[in-house]
Chain A
């Protein structure tokens, strides 16, 4: 055992004397997490900068006492609940609004035409016809998210107007069936019905949409980890793979440099030599994980969750990274080949495991695919503890990841022993 530890300590020191390697292991994941955390905000969750929106309301209303449809749309956009998403400025002319988008001063312009109310109310009065009005959303073609939000809000308000129109139409037809034929009276009935619908729509909704945190059954928590911590988990696991590949590659380096054959001429058994290598790989990534978790806690304000499950996941993560580092190296014949093979495999695993998507809830086929990767299981486990999960929420994930680990260790050991037998 002492000889294995001697080999492990020698490799361990070799890794920690390589400044470029250290930067890759510690600085890169922290920088990426910090950068993405800063980009998406360091608050409770992903936040988006408010979309600069200009509104031109040219609608004068359909008549006295009738609610103006343009005002309804404008009110929806300037609702106090939307201020996190939309920064709305009112402008007087459509030309000015389009110019603001063209010059990059605004992301979206919403241009409400003069006849919007007339179009809504005209079609609501039986026997009267009116051309459809066009609400123009003029947007920066390079942007997607901001204009989509504005379009969604406008669409929602338009649906509300359509609802009011339907209510007005129904009321007018009901009045006609009661032998009311005076157009002015019918207009008044329709207008009153539309107003009632609009007020009801603004009142507290009978159906409440409640968002819940994803994935964790039986966890009654509102915990929302910050963005940096969600990103750091993915980056940590991804860079741990590279952290493991470096000492694992030392087997091939030593073979090329002649120190491995020389070790085989000493009375130290080959299993002890390989064991020492495995220990060093595990220690290197375990320390990498611990340092990143501590740095994430103090530098990025990450709240990792319950210490026990976090400790277990850290150990399992180190075992997974060590086994993957060793198994990818075991297929290669030269250190250069190992570097190429490892990088390709790790990037592929990172992609299918969701390392680059943070711990955001992943569904559909992707949620199935990621379970073919031990890193995917780890991502799931880490996501659970980040969102407040406990032992029960990491047991399956840890077990599955460990099963993969055993297989990888087995393959690596078989290949190394066959090569150096």
Chain B
């Protein structure tokens, strides 16, 4: 069956001078996979998901979801998708159960089928005991779970999750990530946006890296890391002089990149870590500083992003 096929999507806000939030995006998401859009804030992730949800109309291009066009057949597309917005979008004065009943009706469910699905989703999100409490009394994590549950009521073929773990506690985050894996196991195609590199690495079958509205890289994690080459990431913690040492180390041979220091911590992308490390210690000693911690790691998606854009993901 057809998954999602995106062809030349473009969206500019407040044209002609406004920002281009999506710039000629073309990619596909295969049926049953978890596809992550990774990028910093403002990269265009939410705009892309909004166009695929038929919430925003693209200026140019089109996308097909399950074989239906988002521009010409939005009604058909909406029946196939469940959208979990970035912020909790529920009614605080309704109970958890009332919220699910309401959203179920909006997806066209009714009667015993609606009641059955609400019961199943409450079980799935672990809120059977609190279903009669008003949402205003729920914790942030519980609201997030209802937020996701509301998008599952109609058993969507495609589930879009827009940064669902922003601002929640580690336990709830873990619960959500495990839940996403379960959706995949159940055959749901997942489009997941995040600016957390670890989440994309853990969950995704494939990852698209977005920056300033453009898709700058796309592939599996290994394919993306391979873009950086056979390099090593050296993470260094200094007790002082991190700023001046970072500037010095950028000029060292075989150093490809050095991050901006933050609280004495920085990292280098190097071609030959074994040769380089003694010189790092020498430099620190000469500057009157001490390396208090040093780690060697394989390049990750953050390294890839830095390599491709010259900026860190969180910039």
Interface residues of A (CB under 8 A from B): 2-3, 6, 10, 13-14, 17, 257-259, 261-269
Contact = CB atoms under 8 A, between A and B. Distances in A.
A262 B107 contact: no
Contacts of A268: 106, 108
Contacts of A2: 105, 110
Contacts of B90: 259
Contacts of A263: 106
Interface stretch (B27-35, B77-85, B270-278): B77-85
Contacts of B79: 267
Contact of A258 (B78, B89, B105): B89
A266 B106 contact: yes
A269 B108 CA distance: 11
B173 to A, nearest CB: 20
- Among A10, A263, A269, the one with the most B-chain Cβ atoms within 10 Å of its Cβ is A10
A137 B196 CA distance: 89
Contact of B89 (A17, A257, A269): A257
A264 B74 CA distance: 10
Contact of B91 (A259, A261, A269): A259
B108 A10 contact: no
A17 B85 contact: no
Interface in B82-139: 83, 85, 87-91, 93-94, 102-103, 105-108, 110
B91 A266 contact: no
A361 to B, nearest CB: 45
B107 A266 contact: yes
A13 B101 CA distance: 15
A17 B108 contact: no
B228 interface: no
Contacts of B106: 3, 6, 263, 266-268
A267 B78 contact: yes
Given A2-B110, A266-B103, A267-B78, 5 more contacts: A3-B105, A6-B106, A13-B93, A264-B54, A267-B79
B85 A261 contact: yes
A272 to B, nearest CB: 9
19 contacts: A2-B110, A3-B105, A6-B105, A6-B106, A14-B91, A258-B87, A259-B89, A262-B83, A262-B85, A262-B89, A264-B54, A265-B53, A265-B54, A265-B78, A265-B81, A265-B83, A266-B78, A266-B103, A267-B107
A419 B16 CA distance: 19
A-B pairs, 6 with minimum CB distance:
A258-B89, A262-B89, A266-B106, A265-B83, A267-B78, A265-B53
A2 B111 CA distance: 12
B295 to A, nearest CB: 40
A66 B81 CA distance: 105
Nearest to B50: A261
- Which of the four size classes fits the interface of chain B? 20 to 34
Interface string B52-67: 0111000000000000
- Among A2, A3, A14, A266, the one with the most B-chain Cβ atoms within 10 Å of its Cβ is A266
A21 to B, nearest CB: 12
- Among A13, A17, A267, A268, the one with the most B-chain Cβ atoms within 10 Å of its Cβ is A267
B18 to A, nearest CB: 17
Contact of A267 (B50, B55, B94, B108): B108
Nearest to A6: B105
A14 B55 contact: no
Contacts of B107: 266-267
Nearest to B105: A6
B140 interface: no
Contacts of B93: 13-14, 17
A336 B75 CA distance: 33
A232 B67 CA distance: 60
A10 B102 contact: yes
A269 B76 CA distance: 12
B105 A265 contact: no
- Among A10, A257, A258, A265, the one with the most B-chain Cβ atoms within 10 Å of its Cβ is A265
Contacts of B105: 2-3, 6
Nearest to B92: A257
Contacts of B53: 265
A261 B54 CA distance: 10
A264 B54 CA distance: 8
B91 A10 contact: yes
B254 to A, nearest CB: 49
A266 B81 CA distance: 8
Contacts of A3: 105-106, 108
Given A2-B105, A266-B78, A266-B103, A258 B91 contact: no
A38 B24 CA distance: 72
Contacts of A262: 83, 85, 89
Given A10-B91, A17-B93, A261 B78 contact: no
Nearest to B82: A265
A10 B83 CA distance: 21
Nearest to A11: B91
A265 B102 contact: no
B95 to A, nearest CB: 11
A94 B90 CA distance: 78
B234 to A, nearest CB: 42
B108 A265 contact: no
Interface in B38-62: 50, 53-55
Nearest to B98: A10
A3 B102 CA distance: 9
A266 B75 CA distance: 8
Given A14-B91, A14-B93, A6 B85 contact: no
B117 to A, nearest CB: 14
A66 B142 CA distance: 100
A10 B54 contact: no
Nearest to A9: B102
A111 B280 CA distance: 112
Contacts of A265: 53-55, 78, 81, 83
